[in-house]
Structure 1
């Protein structure tokens, strides 16, 4: 069986939004780009990650206004990275150990080159 790397299944389109972006603007960007997450920045630095689920659970369900609440308010600050050459099995193990649904994917210089999510893994063909 061929070894499947993270690079083979990751989503290469990464959308970056400033932490000052409001949740309604972020939700519109996610809709327009057909994605479920954005990387949150503070200047040139990666500051966190926000998913469509985060907007619902951490903001809307808590009564926060999507027009005035910013991404920085609800962002997950602890981000786990995996190198693009890692195997899918290694990515799954990292997700399980850390209890996360997405990992940032980096190159050997630790530059973000993609994101891998549970939905990316669910699309993998299964062995017969």
Structure 2
């Protein structure tokens, strides 16, 4: 099955110059915990509710902090014509629950999540991905590395 068959197409974006308060408000409005960050027509990062909590609030930063200061700049992604089994394995390896989906001309066309995959008929694929994602540490942990 291709990613395009399961992905969420309606994706809200935010600019890196917006505040984390604006990001949190938008996340609440669309009921999501993650937003792609764009600068012009380029995807330059991702911000999550966890980024706002751990990288901003826990460090004493205020609501006027720019998204750019707490977003993840290294964007992992997949393509809309990728196979969902391959994407699930990749999500487990890089320990993420959601990936932006790009067209082959590198335009954002959606987001794929484990939830999207769980709605399909392959619970084994999702279970394997969750197992990999749930391992402690990894490059996407708040400390940036394995926990000891």
- Normalising by the smaller structure, the TM-score range is 0.7 to 0.9
- TM-score with structure 1 setting the length: 0.85
Equivalent residue number for residue 44 of structure 1 = 41
2:13 counterpart of 1:7: no
1:126 to partner: Cα distance:
4.5
Partner secondary structure for residue 61 of structure 2: coil
Number of matched pairs: 124
Residue correspondence of structure 1 range 60-99 to structure 2 within 5 A: 60-66=57-63, 68-99=64-95
Q: Could you say which structure has the higher strand fraction?
A: 1
Alignment partners' CA distance in 2, 1:52 and 1:31: 10
Q: Which has the higher contact order (CA 8 A, sep 6+)?
A: 1
2:102 counterpart of 1:106: yes
Q: Which runs of 4+ in 1 moved over 3 A?
A: none
Q: Deviations over 1:65-92 (max 9, x none)?
A: 12x2111011111111211111211111
Unaligned runs of 5+ in 1: none
- TM-score with structure 2 setting the length: 0.74
Two-structure CA RMSD over aligned residues (Å): 1.9
Unaligned runs of 5+ in 2: 124-148
Alignment partners' CA distance in 2, 1:83 and 1:5: 9
Partner secondary structure for residue 46 of structure 1: strand
